[in-house]
Structure 1
Amino acid sequence: MPDRIAYIPLNTYPEAPSDAAILATIGLAETLGCEMHVATFAVDIPPVALPWGDFLINVEEMARAAEDRSKAECQRLRALIEAGAKGNRAIHFVHHQPVMGGALEAATVESRYFDLALVPCSSVSSQDMAQSLVFGSGLPVILVPQPAQFEQVHHLAIAWDGSHVAARALGDALRLLADGGRITVLTVQDEKALSSSGIAETLAASLELRGYVAKAMSLRLEGRSIAKALQDAAIEEGAQLLAMGGFGHSRLRDFVLGGATKGVLADLRIATLLAH
């Protein structure tokens, strides 16, 4: 079977992901047996004409300084990855310098040429990147927390509500599950109306018929957000990966996120695969 290639975008403006999150992402890619296509994004800030000129502040000088810092950070992150990688998987580097505000779209388009996307999540900028890829790439996107160390995915948790995006997430995640791995099917009973009763048990039974070891687990929020309840359960069960459907819809080019999707992006505590 050909090697999978993981797409890893690193946007350095206005801030880059943390070193710890980036190294965790590289470690996960190696654990999953993926080659890596790492794309670094510096910023190109176009000239801005102010009505009073640069009498009070030198805008052009500030813009060039920000560009230089962004370029230098791209170079530093490449050196960090080269030093931190174990060397058992190929890493391909590319560098881009889109105009300010263009990195998310550029990364989303580029990602479609690969098998999955891995996003180190440690800042608002990286959350924006993750959101753009989840809803625009067509790929499974794994959000990687910091700090994190990874072994093979022997235990997968799936947030199941019977929706098509949950089914997509499950299909994507099963490809990453190690042979003999097991699956915990999580449903939350008091967050929204489910399509029918017993859907976790139905999925677990279906997975068992396909040769997987699976069990159903019903959750209640008990004052928690749905994202916290799902992550708590996945961590307590010992899962290495949580899979869930990414909910959102476009409104004036901005995404209005579902509660679980928004909560995981804001407070990520376990590697989470989102599919849309």
Structure 2
Amino acid sequence: MKLMACLALATYPEANTAKVASNAVALARQVGAALHAVVVDVDIPDVSNALSSYLLDLPSKIREVEATSRKCGKILLEAVAKEASQGAVTLTQQEIAAPPALMGDAAAEQSRYFDLSLVGLAADNPTARMTAEAILFGAGRPTLLFPEATDVGVLDHVVIAWDGSRVAARAVADARPFLERAARITVISVVDEKPLPGKDIGERLAEGLRVRGLTVESAAIRAGDRSIGAALQEHAVKIGGKLLVMGGYGHSRVRDFVLGGATEGVLADLRLPILLSH
């Protein structure tokens, strides 16, 4: 069965750049997935009254913002279509609209119809981060975050962040298409961040993956005075990892996301592609 990946594209108030297209297509191609690009345009409810219309021309400003959002969406879809054509990746496209506060939720709802969610992140784009959080906790699908402006390259070395938890186990299962294609897999466990459910848990996972025919090694690392998110990413980059697989910790209460330390760390400072499962 062919995999299907959904790329969520932000347009308001900060839009993704066109660079997101080449990375998303490259990721889909590496796992043989079809790509579905969904643009979320802003739909601002008309809350104007006679006074605001007279003093601020609010309806006109709303129309201007919505038009700018749609224009950004069109540019992004055209960029994805061009890259998909050049990369021989099957592509479908969709354009939806949602109020500003619900744009992330709308993207998450669409992502539920696919096997994998793709989100490009940039340090100066809080809209993309909001979209990533909404999809991670609301889609029910693994979410692959990737730096928007940096070429992702070949994901031939997969690093698994393993603490024996449910979400980590879910992430390993969701990463199967990437693990099967990897030339090298490294399981890392951070031993000084929190109590772990036993000794050598990383090696135990590695052994199970070797039985499945994969090339795997394991290592225990220490975070020291670094945040857990920084420690995981720094070690992954140090050993040449191209994709980090980890559980996405956190939950949502009345739209206020409560994130685990590792999840917060990678969302705030993404240094390589990361597959998160919740």
- Superposition TM-score tier, normalisation by shorter sequence: over 0.9
State which of 184, 187, 192 in structure 1 corresponds to 2:186. 184
Residues in 1 aligned to 2:98 and 2:73: alpha-carbon distance in whole angstroms: 13
Match of 1:210 in 2: 212
The DSSP-based 3-state class of the residue aligned with 1:129 is helix
Q: How big is the shift at 1:151? A: 4.4
The DSSP-based 3-state class of the residue aligned with 1:132 is helix
- Which range moved further: 244-253 or 146-155? 146-155
The DSSP-based 3-state class of the residue aligned with 1:109 is helix
Residues in 1 aligned to 2:225 and 2:10: alpha-carbon distance in whole angstroms: 35
The DSSP-based 3-state class of the residue aligned with 1:69 is helix
Q: How big is the shift at 1:177? A: 2.4
Residues 112-147 of structure 1, C-alpha deviations (whole Å, 9 max, x = no match): 111111111122111111111111111111001133
Distance 1:106 1:28, change over 3 A: same
Counterpart code for 2:89: R
Residues in 1 aligned to 2:200 and 2:49: alpha-carbon distance in whole angstroms: 62
Describe how 1:232-247 pairs up with structure 2 within 5 A: 232-247=234-249
Match of 1:46 in 2: 45
Match of 2:61 in 1: 62
Gaps of 5+ in 2: none
Residues in 2 aligned to 1:141 and 1:192: alpha-carbon distance in whole angstroms: 25
Contact 1:153 1:177 in 2 (8 A): no
Residues in 1 aligned to 2:148 and 2:74: alpha-carbon distance in whole angstroms: 21
Contact 1:154 1:178 in 2 (8 A): no
Q: How big is the shift at 1:103? A: 2.0
TM-score (norm 2): 0.93
- 1:96 aligned to 2:101? no
Counterpart code for 1:68: A
Q: How big is the shift at 1:71? A: 0.8
Describe how 1:124-139 pairs up with structure 2 within 5 A: 124-139=126-141
Q: How big is the shift at 1:81? A: 1.8
Q: How big is the shift at 1:52? A: 4.4
Distance 1:179 1:41, change over 3 A: closer
Number of matched pairs = 275
Describe how 1:79-228 pairs up with structure 2 within 5 A: 79-85=78-84, 86-122=86-122, 123-179=125-181, 181-228=183-230
- Which range moved further: 195-204 or 172-181? 172-181
- 1:270 aligned to 2:269? no
TM-score (norm 1): 0.93
Structure with the higher helix share, 1 or 2: 2
Q: How big is the shift at 1:179? A: 4.2
Q: How big is the shift at 1:215? A: 1.3
Match of 2:71 in 1: 72
The DSSP-based 3-state class of the residue aligned with 1:92 is strand
Counterpart code for 1:19: A
The DSSP-based 3-state class of the residue aligned with 2:16 is coil
Match of 2:30 in 1: 31
Gaps of 5+ in 1: none
Q: Report the identity percentage.
A: 39
The DSSP-based 3-state class of the residue aligned with 2:9 is strand
